[in-house]
Chain A
């Protein structure tokens, strides 16, 4: 377990204090101009204690990444435009499949490679995949055995080359947690309701779609 530094404590404190103000109803009181000082002081003490003890579980990388306007713009674009479109398409698809009189499903578990380096990016892609109906992330594994990669060498090498050409600026100034995560290739095991192919790279193309490109633009 890594030690917590100052920026992670400060960011956790800000988030917990905003939630304190929302739940105790002080935010509207501040806007009306009559906040109660005792509640605010108690909130500061409680939130400071909570963030001191729990910041090391939440923030492992740079805390204030969202303050970059380009990243904030692509984050808002992903959350408000790209992801809801995928969500609605997948929802309608699964609803039609469930309501059609003949149940035409072809379930299967496929293994999909991922190119993301950041831990938050990996978690965000896994959550996006699980949140779209029709695909569920079962597990997440580093590349442990060479044989499994060797069976798929042709596709894997082409994917690797395109990735190296595409992301010319790899994060050189990453933290030590980042470089440890980047040592092996990452695989998702995904349960797919309507399996069309068992090839790793092609299944990744069909499942992830455009989501991985946008997530990489946010986190790198």
Chain B
């Protein structure tokens, strides 16, 4: 059982590392946002599942497991809302069009609506 918990945490560490590297390397704000989603989903889910297993089997503490479940559920529910709000705000805030994007159908429709 100890091996399973360690493997879950190592998977989570790998995804957090990949997200960090992506956040430093990506050329654009929106591409960086994909890497941040990488951290916030499998990164925290691995730690939370490992923690629930450890709290139930080795500590025998039910309230810690319930709190960990609440943390994981809240992260899963709240992350897309914050991410969507930040992406939308960043798009509206950047006055000039984005260079790295190969096709921008949102900008075309916004221009059409304003005319």
Give the number of chain B interface residues (Cβ < 8 Å).
43
- Chain A's closest residue to B102 (CB) is A108
- Given known A95-B14, A148-B112, contact A109–B107 (CB-CB < 8 A): yes
Q: Are B34 and A136 in contact (CB under 8 A)?
A: yes
**CB distance B109 to A148 under 8 Å?**
yes
**Contact yes or no, A127 B109, CB < 8 A:** no
Q: Does B10 contact A (CB under 8 A)?
A: no
Is the CB–CB distance between B102 and A25 below 8 Å?
A: no
User: How would you classify the secondary structure of chain A's contact residues: helix, strand, loop or mixed?
Assistant: mixed
Interface string of B5-48 (1 = CB under 8 A from A): 00000000011001101100111101101110110011000000
Report B-chain residues with C-beta under 8 Å of the C-beta of A144: 113
Asked if B21 contacts A98 (CB within 8 A), the reply is: yes
A28 to B33, CA, bound (A): 40
The stretch of A33-41, A47-55, A86-94 in contact with B is A86-94
Chain A nearest CB, measured from B27 CB (Å): 8
With A91-B38, A98-B22 as known contacts, state yes or no: A127 contacts B102, CB within 8 Å. no
Q: Closest CB-CB distance, B85 to chain A, in whole Å? A: 10
- A131 B34 Cβ-Cβ under 8 A: no
Interface check A133, CB cutoff 8 A: yes
Bound Cα distance from A139 to B104, whole angstroms: 13
Contact A136 B35 (CB under 8 A): no
B residues in contact with A145, CB < 8 Å: 109, 112-113
Residues of chain B with a CB closer than 8 A to A7's CB: none
Complex interface bits, A121-138 against B, C-beta within 8 A gives 1, otherwise 0: 000001100111110111
